[in-house]
A and B are shown apart, each in its own frame.
Chain A
Amino acid sequence: MWICTQAFHVPKHGNAAEEYEDAFFPDRVSQRGLTAFRCAVADGASESAYAGEWAQILVRSFGRRRLRLAQNQRTWQRLVQGRPVPWYLERKLANGAHAALAGLLLRDRRQRNPRRGSWRAVAIGDSCIFHVRGDELLAVGPVCRSDDFDNNPYLVSSKNSGPLRRDDPHVSIVSGSWRLKDIFYLTTDALAQWILAEYEAGRPPWKFLRALGGKQKSFEAVIEDLRKSKALRNDDTTLIRVEVK
């Protein structure tokens, strides 16, 4: 399996680069001969503290092996504890950090069929995965309509939750099969909502997303224009494009 990926990211307008609280993994890959490939985006909730760090922990955990929530929570706890904090941060940290997560696993079945393989997507919250073949959208989730985004998605907490179970109603697991030249997009909520709105309006943006190539600067310019025209919510914005070559 030959996988090429490219990640793009922009902080919300008015925020500094270090205030960006989405996360993605990996940044860029072009690798042949893979039998399995994992990638993920996460969206740290602005109303929690150390949310960007929590999002980072989650995407790295998913991307490198698999999600190990209890271990991830201990990592976050070690990061935030042991330093004196003002009263307002004390309460905030006690509430934990929260993030939406969307992860994708691709497997090779080349031994059986050289042009196909399987994929599985796991999502909690409103970060989304799109599976596109040519100009056709084959699958999207966990949010499927642009009107279905709201301000209160269920999020992965760095505190007080047991292990994630497959039958947890908040965990979306979807699977399918890929063919050569298929493309997957993983995005955080603002861009996912825009993509769905364009698709629903009969203007699927796949050509535009492909045409971004590897240019982070082009992505930044496009996002700025979309925000100015109010087509895109002002939020941290992240995209990973995954091509199966």
Chain B
Amino acid sequence: MAYSAEISRDNPSCFLFLVDQSTSMSEQVAAGDATQQKAAGVADSINRWLQELSIKCAKVEGVRDYYHVGVIGYGSTVGPRFVGPIAGRDMVPISEIAENPARLEERTKKIPDGTGGLVEQTVRIPVWFDPVANGGTPMCRAVGEAERILQDWITERPNCFPPIVIHVTDGEATDGDPYERIQSLTQLATSDGNVMLFNIHMSANPDAVPMSFPDSADELPDEYSKMLFETSSPLTPSMRALAKEHGFNTSQDARSFVLNADMVLLVQAIDIGTRPSNLR
């Protein structure tokens, strides 16, 4: 059965983020009751996600390398986007990520004091990835880069749980039609299944209707969103179960695609795409 390989230190898996950093990512998007710059919201989400994954994989003796993670940005240039000691590397074991944040930012948060009130607590937030919004949308080159990185990964680990690519974008490619490139990326496979692609499309337009995990392209508004749907992987049964936890009823043919996402839907989609169910 596909997508059932055990994820262990002997047989790790990986996540690769492909992040649109074009100029339009500087637009404001809804984030709960407030708004936030898309690029800043994406950076916050990825930093928080890296923090949670580090904690999940942590044991007393250190962080166990169940996963390697990469973040590729595309805008004025295409390439790896970690900052700090791991800058310039495209795929990094989670233990090295945990040990090497660029900085720990101190923030205060309010927590219950146990008597019905709230008390302020200082927490240290690690940062590995900074927001950038500058340039065009060279999606074709970025997908080509992802294919190169994952081809190398799979050659070394042919039996791993398949890599999962989380692609966050807000606009159309400016360097050609990415359809063939994306098809080529998701045709990469391990013995446990094909590389999975999550397409998360963000919109700053408050009138744009969000769509979550559709099972057909019939109601999608244009050729671009249809292309993103066609290239998104089918949700696995465990991802559908997670989607249900988040309140999404999905059909068996649901794709890992959200359209016109705000910050809340972005975070939900990343969780559904990446929460491990077979860590050992």
Contacts and interface: CB of A to CB of B under 8 A. Distances in A.
Contacts of A91: 51, 55
B59 A86 contact: no
A92 B277 contact: no
Interface in A220-245: 234-235
B175 interface: no
Contacts of B126: 87
Contacts of B58: 49, 88-89, 92
Contacts of A50: 60
Contacts, number: 36
Contacts of B280: 12, 14, 46, 234-235
Interface residues of B, number: 21
Given A12-B280, A46-B279, A234-B280, A88 B8 contact: no
Contacts of A49: 58-60
B85 to A, nearest CB: 15
B163 to A, nearest CB: 20
B8 A86 contact: no
B277 A151 contact: yes
A88 B280 CA distance: 19
A47 interface: yes
Nearest to A230: B4
Contact of B99 (A14, A86, A235): A86
A87 B277 contact: no
Interface string A62-98: 0000000000000000000000001111111000000
Interface in A189-211: none
Contacts of A87: 101, 104, 124, 126
B26 to A, nearest CB: 30
A14 B55 contact: no
B118 to A, nearest CB: 17
Nearest to A12: B280
Contacts of B21: none
Contacts of B98: 86, 88
Contacts of A14: 8-10, 280
A47 B64 CA distance: 11
Contacts of B59: 49
Given A86-B99, A87-B104, A87-B126, A47 B54 contact: no
Interface string A19-49: 0000000000000000000000000001101
B63 interface: yes
B7 to A, nearest CB: 11
Interface in B38-53: 51
B6 interface: yes
A234 B4 CA distance: 13
B271 to A, nearest CB: 15
Interface string B6-45: 1011100000000000000000000000000000000000
B56 interface: yes
Interface in B211-240: none
B31 to A, nearest CB: 23
Nearest to B61: A19
A115 to B, nearest CB: 45
Of the listed residues A14, A86, A89, the one surrounded by the most CB atoms of chain B closer than 10 A to its CB is A89
A90 B104 CA distance: 13
A88 B98 CA distance: 7
Interface of B: 6, 8-10, 51, 54-56, 58-60, 63, 98-99, 101, 104, 124, 126, 277, 279-280
Interface of A: 12, 14, 46-47, 49-50, 86-92, 151, 234-235
5 contacts: A46-B280, A87-B104, A87-B124, A88-B54, A92-B58
**Shortest 8 CB-CB contacts between residues of A and residues of B:** A88-B58, A88-B54, A14-B10, A88-B98, A92-B58, A91-B55, A88-B55, A14-B8
